[in-house]
Amino acid sequence: MERTRGTIRSSPEDAMSSIPITTDRPRAADERPASADATPTASSDCLPDPADLKFPPRRVSLLTAAEVASELRCSKAHVHNLINGRVRGARPLPSLWLGRRRLVRRTSLDQWLLTIEHGG
């Protein structure tokens, strides 16, 4: 069967006996009219309204070793040496483990830089 412009032809010779195609359904989901009683989506159903929260969520800024290296303008290896306390004259850079990764809080890095500046 060959489908051309809304008609079905059984063979090229039988072009005169075309049957028009009619459908009751829309072609795509985006063509359907939106109903007023539609169910809410999962994202709006699961998340609480921010106005209802007693304490707004705090966002902790965590930096990777590469990001700390770009901030300090040094290599990642030097950042790992700072974290492990292998650099003379500098106290160890506070960090936390996340799996195998070492992450540094933005506030810890800023505080560490202030203490290094003042000879701490």
pLDDT tens readout for residues 42-56: 555 677 776 776 776
Looking at residue 35, what is its pLDDT? 54
| Strand, coil or helix: 118 | coil
pLDDT category, 119, cuts 50, 70, 90?
Answer: confident
Domain annotation covers residue 54: no
Q: How many domains does the chain have?
A: 1
Phi/psi at 26 (5° precision): -70, 160
Task: Kindly report, residue by residue over 54-93, the tens digit of the pLDDT.
Answer: 776 667 799 999 999 999 999 999 999 999 999 998 999 9
Domain annotation covers residue 73: yes
> What residues does 23 pair with on adjacent strands?
none
Identify the CA nearest to 64 among candidates 32, 36, 103, 99.
Answer: 103
| Strand, coil or helix: 28 | coil
Domain annotation covers residue 95: yes
Looking at residue 46, what is its pLDDT? 73
Domain annotation covers residue 45: no
